[in-house]
């Protein structure tokens, strides 16, 4: 079997279609996007991997194929296709969340995080938000969901920074650093409830719908844990080690003068040839 025939057989086992024309294999990812394998060495074997718009003739001015990698085995080729398929699924899920295409999340307005493009957030309840991180884990598109209570300390923090600014000798004009501290800081997160990770995106939308309904109840139950409100438990000595410590302390408390007096009662007779004898 040729290199392309082996790749086609491997993809067919995963339910992925492909076609070959001359020295190029075409693998559709979506209706608008496809992967192209162009053989560059039949003996090694090796093939360049391109991402290109589907159903566009090579002579068309809009045709553009972008080289993204090179594969040297059937396993590499199958893995490359799997990653691109998973990435496309991630993009699709993120688009569905942001556009609210599923009626189960019709009451949620997700927006994209300014730092992580794979993270979307939606305000729920009185003072909370849902966060959904959609990314490729291994070769599997996965969505991790968290429920966060945020901002209950935000007003206090903002007041503190403003007071600090006005009490300083700085000029009335806010610097870029001051603006960042006042308005660009991250939300203060009080509590985080992990709702799990999902590879079944139909299940994901069910969970998000439930989370929106339960948001206010979860807010009331997610109370901050204060260590100072709980006394440390008493630790009991099960093996009597503390008793030994007490005895050692009692021995250390012996009067040094009493020991000296006892030693003075001992008279050593240096004239005895047989050795040293004690006399009292």
3-state SS track over the chain: CCHHHHHHHHHHHCCCCCEEECCEEEEECCCCEEEEEEEEECCCCEEEEEEEECCCCCCCCCCCEEEEEEECCHHHHHHHHHHHHHHHHHHHHHHHHHHCCCHHHCCCCCEECCCCCCEEEEEECCCEEEEEEEEEECCEEEEEEEEEEECCCHHHHHHHHHHHHHHCCCCCCCCHHHHHHHHCCCCCEEEEEEEEEECCHHHHHHHHHHHHHHHHHHHHHCCCCCHHHCCCCCCCCCCCHHHHHHHHHHHHCCCHHHHHHHHHCCEECCCCCCCCCEEC
Integer Cα distance of 169 and 135 in angstroms: 47
CB contact at 8 A, 123 and 215: no
Per-residue pLDDT of the chain (280 residues; tens, 9 = 90+): 899 999 999 999 989 999 999 889 999 998 889 999 999 999 999 999 999 987 666 555 556 789 999 999 999 999 999 999 999 999 999 999 999 999 999 999 999 999 999 999 999 998 899 999 999 998 899 999 999 987 555 555 555 656 666 666 555 555 555 544 554 444 566 789 999 999 999 999 999 999 999 999 998 888 665 555 555 666 555 556 555 555 555 555 555 555 555 555 545 444 455 454 554 4
Burial class (CB in 10 A: 0-12, 13-18, 19+), 206: middle
C-alpha distances (whole Å) from 166 to each of 15, 158, 159, 184, 280 are 65, 12, 11, 18, 87
pTM (predicted TM-score): 0.65
Q: Alpha-carbon distance 132 to 145, whole Å?
A: 5
Distance of CA 91 to the CA centre of its chain: 20
β-pairing, 140-150 with 46-53? unpaired
Query: Cβ(80)–Cβ(49) under 8 Å?
Result: yes
CB 122 within 8 A of CB 104: no
Q: Residue 166 corresponds to which tokens in the numbers above?
A: 């006005």
Per-residue confidence (pLDDT) for residue 3, from 0 to 100: 95
């Amino acid at each position: 079997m040729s290199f392309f025939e082996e790749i086609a057989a491997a993809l067919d086992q995963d339910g992925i279609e492909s076609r070959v024309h001359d020295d190029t294999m075409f693998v559709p990812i979506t209706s608008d996007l496809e992967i192209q394998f162009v053989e560059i060495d039949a003996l090694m074997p090796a093939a360049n991997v391109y991402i290109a718009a589907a159903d566009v003739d090579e002579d068309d001015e809009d045709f553009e194929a972008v080289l993204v990698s090179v594969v040297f085995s059937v396993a590499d080729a199958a893995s490359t296709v799997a990653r691109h398929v998973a990435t496309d699924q991630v993009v699709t899920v993120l688009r569905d969340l942001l556009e609210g295409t599923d009626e189960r999340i019709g009451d949620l307005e997700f927006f994209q995080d300014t730092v992580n493009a794979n993270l979307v957030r939606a305000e729920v309840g009185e003072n909370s938000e849902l966060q959904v991180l959609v990314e490729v884990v291994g070769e599997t598109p996965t969505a991790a969901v968290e429920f966060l209570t945020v901002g209950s300390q935000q007003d206090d923090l903002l007041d503190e920074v403003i007071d600090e600014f006005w009490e300083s000798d700085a000029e009335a004009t806010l610097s870029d650093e001051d603006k960042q501290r006042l308005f660009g800081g991250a939300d203060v997160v009080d509590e985080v409830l992990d709702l799990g990770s999902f590879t079944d995106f139909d299940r994901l939308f069910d969970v998000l719908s439930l989370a929106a309904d339960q948001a206010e109840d979860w807010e009331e139950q997610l109370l901050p844990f204060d260590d100072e409100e709980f006394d440390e438990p008493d630790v009991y000595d099960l093996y009597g080690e503390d008793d030994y410590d007490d005895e050692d302390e009692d021995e250390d408390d012996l009067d040094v003068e009493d020991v000296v007096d006892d030693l003075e009662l001992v008279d050593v007779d240096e004239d005895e040839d047989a050795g040293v004898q004690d006399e009292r």
